Structure 1
């Protein structure tokens, strides 16, 4: 058992020893005074002893098979995770076990998980985003870091009821960042050297924190940014809230404010509410042109991001896809031709629709974000992940597979190529967090396929991504891109692909 007294928190923390690493789990950073209320920081513990050997509860959510998308074998047992509407604001801190013998404070990596803003995709308890391996590798690399992963409110509990606070998840996370600034020093971390990272919806949140001026030095956007899920007008949220409240009333319950948690989750499931979004906020206005306080950016995507829309797109007729692409304005005809969309070719049309989703919401986002940061003189490191799913290579390098590779929380020894790429990813991420160049900022870095990894120039990048398609998308009005995307993707997302 690892134990130390945290003077500023006025608490003794009892964590667990994991070889060269110590982990303190489930530390409460905030309290929720009521449903849809803004969270408040937990400032001290009056000398109490805190049991930090167990993961804290997550926000209540409908059950999703997190192993499905990742192709993790069905016999893998995921630890059952406790849930609590008001006790879910907690974080895990993973540190080198010899921290007390070190002099200078260590760089801090803060991780925000994804999950379409409705569920916890990749918790430490699931092992998918277990931070033990990346900290232990940082020690072996001679560049030790501290990693903090945070839990926050999800689904409608984070979205709000449109009668008060909105974007509560974002505010919970900002509170956690402030808590880290205040208390990470006693863990041996450097509050002036914080890298904020996230994947998918986690990347959306990280981008939002960057543009709203959170106290960061570096940021990592993995398969997610505000281009993936931009803030939407408040009336869109009001329509969602109204639909949920109507469902609750049909079941004999009151408003969202008063209904039991399980009934709210049932209503969400009945409405097939599989994703949510950030609501318009003055702080987020003009986000496309803001880079915040962070000075360096690591940003990239995986080859097959649109897998999470695949089953939905498969139900579309060629007519529906053709009509969707027709919303592309003056470039509609050229867009359809480039993506092989045709009334007479159903299969190529569906493939083209999925390619468009990948390009419009992920690859184009990397290009635009990197260009902006370079324009204002900040360093940017771009990457592509083309390493196939370790358990089912035919599923390709799909959305979220990078979590399995990066964190190494699941045993990949059966697949040496995947294990090798994961080890290299951790090495490069650790260098970035430590303020070193992970590769030349004039080139991209490719992880995979087939266990290979290397720097690539523009010519090789063009063999891995649809550059001509991206060039056309850059010519298009964003409203037309959004119209095509909305017609193809709205209501069709699912983690069960």
Structure 2
């Protein structure tokens, strides 16, 4: 059952190791860029798309790369952007290969990082001409806005499958700044207009695609942005920036486990900014932001590593994440959705069944009703009223049979509150925002929705967050839908089942299952009252 996890880990780890058979070239401005060819796929790795965000460019908007005037080899991926140090508090009872996948592939830091990191990668069918005008899928990695790298994902699997389907596409993946380097938040950051730099990096990469993808045989008018987790949230936020105007940068979005999230103003992150200022001895400076630009990299990186991460006690109440900054996001994301400032493009979006389990191990010491009340109020929703807290806990009761992993009865209750917290967190950050997003988009654009129940039998975790990556990159079937959606703006085709569009009148989910029936259709009608309550509370109490 779990061998697919290891297969993905091996495939991802080997993306730069294939022996080249030839050296394909493209012309970028006056430079010749040489890549590698293997197994029918051309790969061009590590192309800089912006100036290094180092020195005085630290904590500033990305600066477009100047015209390329020196030829170079693009044969290995660039380093990841600075990563958050994490430790995953996995309890006993989880299969060893799942632990290996989570630590070494999904959430572990297994690749070098560096502050000079803004590079882009292009994978295409071998030998295509510059005038091929193939559709383009642009991958935005996840990792809680704290870690991640294109190195984790083998884009050649997507391109190879697209050739098999006779729907050839070009795959692009990009680096972007994460942690405080990309999502520093404070009044000082807001005043300087330099919030959400990670999203700005992604936007700059999309501009690079518009300018240069034609040289690789791609069609800049046929770009689909695709992401998982933080990458999917990023896709949604690109739909909200600029008043919903895509600027022609993309024509569709595919989201795995991510929607417009319930976050508020960028000043809500002030305490983390102030902590960095104190740790780096910048508190006495007249311009603390400029001081942070001048702090030696290792000293700043150590300070960032000392801040809470995605597996800390506060869990999905992240220290570093997108917030309304007045520039990229002119208001809280969900308020922008309510205002109709959303790109009216075709989208596909869905979640895993048990999104919250992976992030609920840090709270195993929360075992009583009083403790969970205190946890939610002090660590998750600090502005929630006692009345709303009562309502929330009634909607998500201390009943293992109603908790996550869902549909497992009293099993997997490794602590008295684990399944309760897992169900609340998974709905609060993933399922409920996705359903709320759909309710507000209903009738405005084509929508397809899915639910991943693959890997449901994994002890304690169930169909955990990130397990659907296997379905996309590991030959599990989702890749076919992604490819057809990129090519035709419709995920349907020879995929074994007809996937109808989603609407409030017909809220259909394509459900990915284990066993002999890999896909089926179901209704988006689970935990309706609970998520409605949760959405109302989250709208009133953004983090």
The answer to whether the superposition gives a TM-score over 0.5 is yes
Which residue in the other structure is 1:447 paired with?
512
Deviations 1:99-143 (A, max 9, x none): 12x8641111111111121211xx3433xx211101100100111
For 1:225 and 1:75, the matched residues in 2 are separated by 25
Which residue in the other structure is 2:404 paired with?
none
> Given the alignment, which residue of 188, 212, 218 partners 1:189?
218
Which residue in the other structure is 1:339 paired with?
396
Task: State the shift of 1:217 in Å.
Answer: 0.8
Which residue in the other structure is 1:382 paired with?
449
Task: State the shift of 1:405 in Å.
Answer: 2.7
Asked if the contact 1:302–1:399 (Cα under 8 Å) also holds between the matched residues in 2, the reply is: yes
TM-score with structure 1 length normalisation? 0.81
For 2:309 and 2:389, the matched residues in 1 are separated by 30
Which residue in the other structure is 1:51 paired with?
73
Task: State the shift of 1:271 in Å.
Answer: 3.2
Aligned residues: 452
Asked if the contact 1:4–1:12 (Cα under 8 Å) also holds between the matched residues in 2, the reply is: no
Q: Residue 221 and residue 76 in structure 1: after superposition, are their counterparts in 2 closer, same or farther (change >3 A)? A: closer
For 1:354 and 1:207, the matched residues in 2 are separated by 24
Does residue 1:299 correspond to 2:323, yes or no?
A: no
Task: State the shift of 1:329 in Å.
Answer: 6.2
Asked if the contact 1:135–1:145 (Cα under 8 Å) also holds between the matched residues in 2, the reply is: yes
> Given the alignment, which residue of 198, 210, 224 partners 1:169?
198
Asked if the contact 2:136–2:224 (Cα under 8 Å) also holds between the matched residues in 1, the reply is: yes
Task: State the shift of 1:221 in Å.
Answer: 1.6
The farther-off stretch of 168-177 and 70-79 is: 70-79
Does residue 1:219 correspond to 2:250, yes or no?
A: no
Task: State the shift of 1:54 in Å.
Answer: 0.6
The SS at the match of 2:211 is helix
The SS at the match of 2:181 is helix
For 2:84 and 2:431, the matched residues in 1 are separated by 30
For 2:440 and 2:102, the matched residues in 1 are separated by 43
> Given the alignment, which residue of 334, 337, 340 partners 1:288?
337
Which residue in the other structure is 1:37 paired with?
60
Asked if the contact 1:339–1:349 (Cα under 8 Å) also holds between the matched residues in 2, the reply is: no
Asked if the contact 1:406–1:423 (Cα under 8 Å) also holds between the matched residues in 2, the reply is: yes
For 2:433 and 2:533, the matched residues in 1 are separated by 14
Task: State the shift of 1:149 in Å.
Answer: 0.5
For 2:36 and 2:459, the matched residues in 1 are separated by 36
Asked if the contact 2:131–2:214 (Cα under 8 Å) also holds between the matched residues in 1, the reply is: no
Does residue 1:404 correspond to 2:470, yes or no?
A: yes
TM-score with structure 2 length normalisation? 0.75
Task: State the shift of 1:478 in Å.
Answer: 3.4
The SS at the match of 2:162 is helix
Task: State the shift of 1:296 in Å.
Answer: 0.4
Asked if the contact 2:124–2:169 (Cα under 8 Å) also holds between the matched residues in 1, the reply is: yes
Task: State the shift of 1:192 in Å.
Answer: 0.7
Does residue 1:140 correspond to 2:200, yes or no?
A: no
For 2:210 and 2:172, the matched residues in 1 are separated by 12
The SS at the match of 1:441 is coil
Which residue in the other structure is 2:418 paired with?
350
Q: Residue 295 and residue 83 in structure 1: after superposition, are their counterparts in 2 closer, same or farther (change >3 A)? A: same
Which residue in the other structure is 1:262 paired with?
298
Which residue in the other structure is 2:534 paired with?
473
The answer for unaligned runs of 5 or more in structure 2 is 1-19, 311-317, 378-383, 400-412, 493-498, 503-507
For 2:270 and 2:89, the matched residues in 1 are separated by 33
Alpha-carbon RMSD across the aligned residues, in angstroms, is 3.3
Asked if the contact 2:83–2:109 (Cα under 8 Å) also holds between the matched residues in 1, the reply is: no
Q: Residue 67 and residue 13 in structure 1: after superposition, are their counterparts in 2 closer, same or farther (change >3 A)? A: farther
Asked if the contact 2:109–2:147 (Cα under 8 Å) also holds between the matched residues in 1, the reply is: no
Matches for 1:315-330 after TM superposition, within 5 Å: 315-318=365-368, 319-323=370-374, 327=384
Q: Which stretches of structure 1, 4 residues or longer, exceed 6 Å deviation after superposition?
A: 65-69, 74-79, 250-254
Asked if the contact 2:183–2:322 (Cα under 8 Å) also holds between the matched residues in 1, the reply is: yes
Asked if the contact 1:387–1:451 (Cα under 8 Å) also holds between the matched residues in 2, the reply is: no
For 1:369 and 1:311, the matched residues in 2 are separated by 28
For 2:307 and 2:182, the matched residues in 1 are separated by 17
The SS at the match of 2:424 is helix
Task: State the shift of 1:338 in Å.
Answer: 3.8
> Given the alignment, which residue of 100, 111, 114 partners 1:81?
111
Q: Residue 279 and residue 457 in structure 1: after superposition, are their counterparts in 2 closer, same or farther (change >3 A)? A: closer
Task: State the shift of 1:467 in Å.
Answer: 3.5
For 2:391 and 2:272, the matched residues in 1 are separated by 35
Which residue in the other structure is 1:416 paired with?
none
The SS at the match of 2:253 is strand
